[in-house]
Amino acid sequence: MHGQEQDNQQSALDGIPILPSKTNPEIQTFDTPHFIYVNRDIVISNNPSLPADRHQLLLFIPGTQPTGHGGGKGPYKFLEEAANLGYHVIKLTYPNDVAAAEACNKDGNPQSFEQFRMALIAGGSFKNMTITRADSIENRLIKLLIYLKQARPREHWEQFLNDDDSIKWECVATAGQSQGGGHAALIAIKHRVARVICSGAPKDYNHVLDRPAAWYHEASATAKDRFFAFNHDQDGMGNCTPEEQIENLRALGLDKFGASADVDTEKSPYNHTRILTTDYPGGKLKSVDAHEAFLNPKNADVFKIVWDYVLTEPVQ
């Protein structure tokens, strides 16, 4: 009865907060809300005048935040747009107070970035950081999906879980900003996912070795044509210059799908490239403003057409 009552509440299109600890009492840190977005006219009513239900989850992983700061609803305009295109959408809270660059940039171990990220994704230890399995990205997502299956049954969140309650990665599009974009890409290397969207990412460039992180070169479980990266020409955050960022994307193999497209001057579908850039709004910008430009809700009117491209461009 409780689940049905919750299921009858207002549409989740505006973003509904859910505390991680409410989904699993073992989660006791980084307990600021997850947010879910779903257009119920699409996924429940199947309104023929709207886009079809994609039967895919867009998992959005945010970037580095100070301890105790969950980032609120984050890039909510982008997440709402994904829901309006037929995705179920989750913005996930996880332990993200340490930046990958801070943890790894002075380390000569070519595997450091991967080890750091996998500790956050699956649980584990890296140097003096330990992430319990309960606090990992994977467990937080699993527990949230189980909770939503019970609390909002008509939205069918259970379709993103296997029978053993593991994640059905092939039905998940991973997306993220900054550190979260790196997690989204590495998850796709390890698991076959539906799509990958990186904004201001991935930035794993090892300055001791003067080359991109080793994990870019690993065999990928996800076809590389499913990866999309959007970066700003003036984004130097994460101790990674725009030039190093391009090296990262080449190491990942995204240049095989064509030259980068400047969305300020080129039109969708951008020659179907997987590397997109902007200098919007032009002039000299602070690096942090450039870093956040693509997903900033204030820029929704500018970048909505690009959002639609990375969310819906056909993939193999």
57 is in which domain, residue-wise?
2-312
- Report pLDDT for 116: 96
In single-letter form, the type of residue at position 158 comes to: E
CATH of the domain at 156: 3.40.50.1820
Q: What pLDDT is attached to residue 67?
A: 60
* Nearest Cα to Cα of residue 38 among 92, 96, 81: 81
Instruction: Give residue 122's pLDDT.
Output: 98
pLDDT for position 106: 81
Q: Are strands 124-126 and 129-131 parallel, antiparallel or unpaired?
A: antiparallel
Residue 221 backbone phi and psi in degrees, to 5: -70, -20
Which of 165, 55, 38, 54 minimizes the C-alpha distance to 91?
Answer: 38
Neighbours of 166 (CB within 10 A): 10
pLDDT at residue 4, as a whole number? 44
Q: DSSP class of residue 220?
A: P
- How do the pLDDT tens digits run along the chain, 316 residues long? 344 434 444 557 889 999 999 999 999 899 999 999 999 999 999 999 999 999 999 999 999 987 656 667 889 999 999 999 999 999 999 999 998 888 887 888 999 999 999 999 999 999 989 999 999 999 999 999 999 999 999 999 999 999 999 999 999 999 999 999 999 999 999 999 999 999 999 999 999 999 999 999 999 999 999 999 999 999 999 889 999 999 999 999 999 999 999 999 999 999 999 999 999 999 999 999 999 999 999 999 999 999 999 999 999 8
H or E stretch covering 18: strand 16-18
> What does DSSP assign to residue 127?
T
Residue 74 confidence (pLDDT): 84
3-class secondary-structure state, position 63:
coil
CB distance 115 to 190 below 8 Å: no
Number of domains in the chain: 1
At 3 the pLDDT is 43
Q: Residue 1: its pLDDT value, please?
A: 33
